[in-house]
Amino acid sequence: MGTSESIPRLSSVTQRGERRVDDRRSVAPTDDPVRLVGLHRLVRGTMRSFAETVAESVDEVFTVALGAVGSFCDVDRAYIFQLDPDGDHLSNTHEWCGTGINPEIDNLQHVPIEVAGPWFEAFERDEHVYIADVDELPDDQAELRGILAEQGIRSLLVAPLRSGGTMHGFIGFDYVRHTSAFSRADLDVLRILADSIAATMSRLAAEERIRHVALVDPLTDLPNRAMFTELVEQGVTLGTPRSRVDDGSDHQPERRSDRAAGRAVVGLIDLDQFAQINEAMGFEAGDELLVAVADRLQQSLRPEDHLARIGGDEFAVLIDGAVDESSAEAVSARLVAALSEPVPVAGHVLAVTASMGFSIDDGTFIHASDLISAAETAMREAKSLGGARAVAFDKDSGQRLAQRVNLALFMRSAEGLSGLHVAYQPAVDLATGQILGVEVLARWEDADGSPVPPDIFIPIAEESGLIPNITRRVVETTLCDVDERFAPLVDGVLAVSVNVSAFHLTQTRFMDDLRGLIDHASESGPIRIWVELTESGVMAESGVVVEHLQMLADSGVRIAIDDFGTGYSSFARLRHLPIAGLKVDRSFVTGIQDDPINQTLVRAQVDIAAELGLLLLAEGIEDEAERATLASLGVRFGQGFGLHRPMGADDFEALLRTQRAGD
């Protein structure tokens, strides 16, 4: 029987009887303190990011929100469809996919709206649509059933994006692995998100209308520099290679791979003799020339390309969907041809030439402005070669890229690892100040000896496969310091914790290395080794990770969840992981004395830790007020600049010595 219908109350889903709501999902988030903490942060964080977002960042903000909500509700896919400007078609504009789920965004562009006709009838009544089982859609919705089945969708829940009477499209959740019911909480979260996204879309559209007035060059009626940058930004965003899982099953000849591979081309055109013409013939003639040139250039472009006037005598073109250097050359040839005919100006016929520079979005440009300045660099080179020519930007001179490559190269070199050392940040008993443990933090200096923060070098090391070497070196250095310098000064037990990237827990070889090192350590007296993993890392759905965590735990290593409260774990999940501690993220700690919500959330974390028998440590404590508040909420352990900053081995040794003398 047909199961596509709009259901004003989700209870009607469960009443249908034939689809049981999964027990795990039927738990309302408020029944689970861990989910409550996650939900609070989710809603708060999302609302804040929406309130602050501007047109340039909105796509990222929406995608991040889809990811947060999708992971929170544990669905396979979360996405946004927006009406195309023609109002008759829909396009998938934002998408988040769970681990191992194929993206479909590229297959769902410019879809006729009739396909989802019945949905929009429900949307107009401000209702959502729930399809429990796509296979059971009735035959009068065969086309929809076909499209959904093609994407492997088994169950879905969609809700309108409507704000102030404007329909923007819809938002939805899919299950593709198996049919699955949605809970009341899933629906609530989806509707809250839908309302906020729609409101944000309306706000940005209004801002856009106002801004337009400021975005057009009054002389030529072309977009100005600001608008061009925005156009390129859109092209570049669209062109950014998506991390996609390609299962090779997609044999359509017309894949949108040109876009997926990221191929916008920016061309800059600077007239060679404009200053002289202006001087000799006057500004009015100069203006006339600019208008004529704009016209010529416009005619040499296709309707989907963009022309702008971005400076006095500087024009820019954005060519979408060009594939390689040769198409850039083809375009430049057309532009050159457009200018090769003399231009009639103020009763004279002028021969005009231009210097052109091109840059191609090869996926290494982060901002539109980078792509534009690359084209500008090339244009200046064309000018310095005598003008009347085009030069393509040499990608290798892209500084950002070169810098990253150099950093990775240096880290790989023999001297590279010698720039690596460690810092020790003590962890204390919040009531007594006694040092009970220490976190090991990697520090690294580049070839010039200047420090590179871990937030920069850890991701580079991860991308270039160097992390195992770094962790090995960090652990070796630590164990050496511990053996020779710290252990003799410890009376009770010192917890030594190292940070490990979750990805490496999937690597068997890395695990063997780590265990070898740590086995050795567990023999060395009063030391207890901890491993810190971020919450998102542990929650990644990987059986291997859990298995390896278990192996570590069995060999006596304690495992702590780092940045706790920033991911979307569930109580049930935590209970089944072999963990021994939680680290309250700094974002809960900062200013907690004046923040009742964070106080509530930390109190909830104290309860969770107590319930599960876990040790709880708050990180990032910067002052006495934070320390005292946390202690009064029942947090026993803490770490932070206000207690001790990260320090070298000498200083930490001295600190242990002082503590011992004081005892």
Binding-site ranges for Ca ion (CB under 5 A): 499, 532, 562-563
Q: Which pair of structure tokens corresponds to residue 595?
A: 């923040």
Q: How far is the CB of 587 from ligand C2E (least distance, A)?
A: 10
DSSP 176-236: -SS-----HHHHHHHHHHHHHHHHHHHHHHHHHHHHHGGGB-TTT--B-HHHHHHHHHHHH
Residue 71 touches which of Ca ion, ligand C2E, none (CB < 5 to 8 A by kind)?
none
Chain Cα centroid distance, residue 274? 44
Site for ligand C2E contains 355 (CB under 6 A): no
Contact 359, 393 (CB under 8 A): yes
Residues 394-453 that bind ligand C2E (CB under 6 A): 425, 441-442, 453
Contact 438, 645 (CB under 8 A): no
Q: How far is the CB of 502 from ligand C2E (least distance, A)?
A: 9
Burial of 608 (0-12, 13-18, 19+ CB in 10 A): buried
List of residues 6+ apart from 256 with CB closer than 8 A: 106, 109
Q: State how far the alpha carbon of 445 is from the alpha carbons of 353, 391, 415, in Å.
A: 49, 37, 11
Q: How far is the CB of 650 from ligand C2E (least distance, A)?
A: 18
Site for ligand C2E contains 537 (CB under 6 A): no
The single residue among 152, 311, 454, 578 that binds ligand C2E, judged by CB under 6 A, is: 454
Give the helix/strand (H/E) hosting 89.
Answer: strand 89-97
Residue count, binding to ligand C2E (CB under 6 A): 24
| Beta-bridge partners for 345 | 348
Residues 491-520 that bind ligand C2E (CB under 6 A): 499-501
Total residues found in the chain within this entry:
663
Q: Which region holds residue 363: left if phi is over 0, alpha if psi is between -120 and 50, else beta? A: left
In angstroms and rounded to an integer, the radius of gyration of the C-alpha atoms of the chain is 30
Q: How far is the CB of 645 from ligand C2E (least distance, A)?
A: 7
Residue 167 touches which of ligand C2E, Ca ion, none (CB < 5 to 8 A by kind)?
none
Nearer to Ca ion, 186 or 563 (CB): 563
Q: How far apart are CA 304 and CA 265, in angstroms?
A: 13
List of residues 6+ apart from 554 with CB closer than 8 A: none
Site for ligand C2E contains 566 (CB under 6 A): no
Contact 165, 5 (CB under 8 A): no
**Diameter of the chain measured on Cα atoms:** 97
Window 295-314: contact mask with ligand C2E (x via CB under 6 A): --------------------
Residue 59 touches which of ligand C2E, Ca ion, none (CB < 5 to 8 A by kind)?
none
Segment contacting ligand C2E by CB under 6 A, of 174-182, 365-373, 592-600, 616-624: 616-624
Nearer to ligand C2E, 40 or 443 (CB): 443
Q: How far apart are CA 49 and CA 155, in angstroms?
A: 29
Site for ligand C2E contains 570 (CB under 6 A): no
The single residue among 426, 581, 620, 638 that binds ligand C2E, judged by CB under 6 A, is: 620
Residue 641 touches which of Ca ion, ligand C2E, none (CB < 5 to 8 A by kind)?
ligand C2E
Nearer to Ca ion, 238 or 618 (CB): 618
Q: How far is the CB of 499 from Ca ion (least distance, A)?
A: 5
The single residue among 98, 419, 565, 646 that binds ligand C2E, judged by CB under 6 A, is: 646
Distance separating the N- and C-terminal Cα atoms of the chain:
77
Nearer to ligand C2E, 227 or 470 (CB): 470
Residue 67 touches which of Ca ion, ligand C2E, none (CB < 5 to 8 A by kind)?
none
Cα-based angle 184, 188, 190 (whole degrees, multiple of 5): 115
The single residue among 622, 625, 628, 636 that binds ligand C2E, judged by CB under 6 A, is: 622
Q: How far apart are CA 362 and CA 660, in angstroms?
A: 59
Q: State how far the alpha carbon of 130 is from the alpha carbons of 24, 135, 193, 222, 597, in Å.
A: 19, 13, 17, 46, 34
Residue 338 touches which of ligand C2E, Ca ion, none (CB < 5 to 8 A by kind)?
none
Q: How far is the CB of 479 from ligand C2E (least distance, A)?
A: 13
Site for ligand C2E contains 455 (CB under 6 A): yes
Segment contacting ligand C2E by CB under 6 A, of 48-56, 91-99, 184-192, 633-641: 633-641
Q: State how far the alpha carbon of 248 is from the alpha carbons of 46, 218, 224, 245, 253, in Å.
A: 35, 50, 42, 9, 13
Nearer to ligand C2E, 531 or 656 (CB): 531
Residues 162-221 that bind ligand C2E (CB under 6 A): none
| Beta-bridge partners for 94 | 80
Nearer to ligand C2E, 370 or 626 (CB): 626
Site for ligand C2E contains 468 (CB under 6 A): no
Q: How far apart are CA 82 and CA 105, in angstroms?
A: 12
Residue 74 touches which of Ca ion, ligand C2E, none (CB < 5 to 8 A by kind)?
none
Q: How far is the CB of 367 from ligand C2E (least distance, A)?
A: 25
Contact 582, 612 (CB under 8 A): no
Site for ligand C2E contains 458 (CB under 6 A): yes
Q: Which pair of structure tokens corresponds to residue 66?
A: 């889809």
Nearer to Ca ion, 66 or 618 (CB): 618
Q: Which pair of structure tokens corresponds to residue 37?
A: 């903490």
Q: How far is the CB of 531 from Ca ion (least distance, A)?
A: 10
List of residues 6+ apart from 382 with CB closer than 8 A: 355, 356, 357, 389, 390, 391
Nearer to ligand C2E, 305 or 562 (CB): 562
Site for ligand C2E contains 640 (CB under 6 A): yes
Residue 300 touches which of ligand C2E, Ca ion, none (CB < 5 to 8 A by kind)?
none
Nearer to Ca ion, 264 or 458 (CB): 458
- Sheet containing 306-311: give its strands across: 306-311, 314-319, 265-271, 354-360, 389-392
Q: How far is the CB of 118 from ligand C2E (least distance, A)?
A: 48
Nearer to ligand C2E, 134 or 514 (CB): 514
Q: Which pair of structure tokens corresponds to residue 347?
A: 């009763």
Q: How far is the CB of 606 from ligand C2E (least distance, A)?
A: 20
Binding region for ligand C2E (CB under 6 A): 425, 441-442, 453-455, 458, 471, 474, 499-501, 532, 562-563, 619-622, 639-642, 646
